[in-house]
Amino acid sequence: MRQSRVPLDALARRLDSNGAVEFSRKGPTMTEATETARPSYRMTIFVMVALALTLHLVANALVGYGYFRDELYYIACSKHLAPGYVDQPPLSIFILAVARRIVGDSVFAIRLVPAIVAGVSLALIGLLARRMGGGRPAIVLASLAFLAAPQMLIFHTYFSMNSLDIMFWLLAVHALLGAAECGGLKAWLWLGLVVGLGLLNKTSVLWLGAGVASAVLLTGLRPQLKTPGPYAAAAVAIALFSPFVIWNALHGWPHIEFMRNATEGKYSSLTRGRFLVDQFLAMNPVTYFVSLPGLLLCFARKDDRRRQLVGVTFLTVFGILLANPHVKSEYIAAAYPMLFACGGVSLERLGPPWRTLAVWGIPALLVVSGAILAPLAIPILPVDSYLRYSQTLGVAPSTPENEELGDLPQFFADMNGWEDLAQNVSNAYVTIPEAERATTVAFVTNYGEAGALELYARRYPLPRVICNHNAYWFWGVGPMPVTTFIRLGGSRHDYFESYGDVTPAGLHTCEHCMPYENNLNIFIVRNRHVPIDRAWAEYKHFE
């Protein structure tokens, strides 16, 4: 009796019309069977993760520098939990609040978070290389490229949203590949969850969202637009991001004002040419032996949808950033790890003798160059040793902002002088009659100074702090009345415009800090002409 072919044809249907993986009527293809049988290389991934964790934990334990300026601000934000802040969405701040409650807020404690995230990102890179069909050499190449890139080291050296950002980009790439491989609603919802959480961490994930959208439109995944999946993903991402958007709408769109002021002010000197040059140097030129082959691999085969998705995503993000005339090179950094994974696979597949050169020579170059550049990215050398080392390499101090520099690059300079500031302000504060101290505040104009005075108030006698910079401005002047102010910087004459009584109370000096934080006069001022609460709106400074 002849058996009907309908069930067989149904099993043999080409799911590619819905954007999913194809199956043959005889079962998995040879490629699929090979990838299923391929070893997982878990131990290789584990070793690379352990290497990343060890590097950052040792650096944190040996660090001779203090808190980074932004860390002081983030600690302050974590004491004022909200759906949004002037300069960032709230997720990283909520994570910091949890971390502070568990391990405290010492320099080592808060930097445990980026160290752990570095390990997670290394695991995701190894798994991505494996997912692309790579073996042990591909995993090692991709991981070493990540560890050898100074920008990656910097992002995982101090607490900020940047280390989490890289992790979310890698998770999003995995989720996108999952949507391409199975095409089910669950896979798309997972992508929406990852992108939404990424947006709640850093708004630059909008560029990633644009890259994902381009990848869907320009590759074989386009038929998925006929299914609910992509729209469900977008809805989930928007829903998760909405608290920050609503907070901005209710507060007059401060984040947009912040970005506009930063672009027109401290980033105005940045150019497209500098964007290209700076990222080349910040990512370590040797890593381009991995990332560029990775980008080429993405378009080497027209039938390889997974790599095309990665390539289109990267190029879209790169194009968006290059179109901006004033953009920091670090903004593209989160897009490189996906290329490292592809590049590891590409180099592993070279034929002899090039394969031998690639899987042995390039890792050696990455290790050597990474070791040479690491002290320029991680504060592991004492200042005097760092200065000698950087001078030997011919590396001059640098900053992406329009600021005067001292002997250190801004990243390291901003880790110096904060406790000295607290001590000097404390010395001025204790000269105020005790009865008057209850109505005294330190009024400072940048969040680094404000965060330092708040943090070190547990160690030194210090007044309550008010500040007009970014989120501090929204926190206002606090309890009234205020009779006495401690002010930093400027000249005595400057303060007579707003105060009737100005008394010099000291001088703050700091070695190796940013020049604008050095040689600051300290004044005790009284008899404000206009009460501070009435004048507060005029002091707003978002940048």
* Chain centroid offset of residue 149 CA: 14
Q: Retrieve residue 33's tokens.
A: 């069977």
Phi, psi of 443 (to 5 degrees): -105, 105
User: How confident is the model at residue 401, as a pLDDT?
Assistant: 63
User: How confident is the model at residue 138, as a pLDDT?
Assistant: 95
Parallel, antiparallel, or unpaired: how do β-strands 484-488 and 464-467 relate? unpaired
- Residue type at 181 in one-letter notation: E
Tens-level pLDDT at each residue, the chain (543 residues): 444 333 433 333 333 333 333 333 334 443 444 444 557 689 999 999 999 999 999 888 877 689 999 999 999 999 999 999 999 999 999 999 999 999 999 999 999 999 999 999 999 999 999 999 899 999 999 999 999 999 999 999 999 999 999 999 999 999 999 999 887 899 999 999 999 999 999 999 999 999 999 999 998 888 999 999 999 999 999 999 999 999 999 999 999 999 888 888 777 777 888 889 889 999 999 999 999 999 998 888 776 778 899 999 999 999 999 998 888 888 999 999 999 999 999 999 988 888 888 889 999 999 999 999 999 999 888 888 999 999 998 888 777 666 778 889 999 999 999 999 999 999 999 999 999 999 999 999 999 999 999 999 999 999 999 999 999 999 999 988 999 999 999 999 999 999 999 999 999 999 899 999 999 999 999 999 999 999 999 999 998
Print burial letters for 226-235: b (CB count within 10 Å at least 16), e (below 16). ebebbebbbe
Q: Retrieve residue 292's tokens.
A: 């560029």
pTM, full prediction: 0.89
Task: Please list the alpha-helical segments (H only) found in 456-501.
Answer: 471-475, 492-495
Strand, helix or coil for residue 467: strand
Q: Are 399 and 405 in contact (CB under 8 A)?
A: yes
Name the DSSP letter for residue 88. B
Taking the CB of residue 352, how many other CB atoms lie within 10 A of it? Answer: 7
Phi, psi of 540 (to 5 degrees): -55, 130
